[in-house]
Amino acid sequence: MLFALALAALVALGAWNRYRDRSTPSVTVESESGEQAQVTPTDRMRVRTAEGEPQIDPSTWRLEVSGLVDRELSLTLDEVLSRPAEERLVELPCVEGWSETALWKGARLSSLLEEAGPMPEARTIIFSSPGGYTTSLTMEDVRETDPLLAWQVNGQPLPPEQGYPLRLVVPHRLAYKWIKWVTEIRLVEEDYRGYWESYGYSNEARAD
């Protein structure tokens, strides 16, 4: 019995290593500006999540912005999608040692925050998803990395496993900061450690 369990574990480990080490092919896509970009195919992008994939109803979904702001916001999906958008080629690096590059499109987080009007004492931004996953950025992080709230990847709407309808894209930060299924943004004064950060992962999550 013990031999069988050990054998099963070795088989599972070998399968994981083959998955982890396999090279992911790239494809060429054309950006909205007409430029060619080499990206990881969307259907080959790895799926990593600490929560189950939520069931999102676009008709009732809201993005809430609250906390230390002058104007709290509650935006429908249509209101989010109607905002000025940028398209950027950004690398997503993971603590596991792999990275993927994709063409992400969405609204600048800084523009949304400017609309809400951060109070002077606001230092930290907490992001939440329906399954309870959280992470955070500092206001300085936002100025340094200029994140996107993305609703599109490689020219197509985000698939559910990649965060539909809204995913945070944070250049030069590790993937656990790229929270999927964003529903809440809250500004606070104190430091905050999210899901993985509370297990000891770096709160800065610098990838370079």
pLDDT one digit per residue (tens) for the chain, 208 residues: 433 333 333 333 333 333 333 456 677 776 767 777 789 888 888 988 888 888 999 999 999 999 999 999 999 999 999 999 999 999 999 998 999 999 999 999 999 999 999 999 999 999 999 999 999 999 999 999 999 999 999 999 999 999 999 999 999 999 999 999 999 999 999 999 999 999 999 999 999 8
**Within a 10 A sphere around the Cβ of 145, how many other Cβ atoms?**
19
CATH code: domain 44-199 is 3.90.420.10
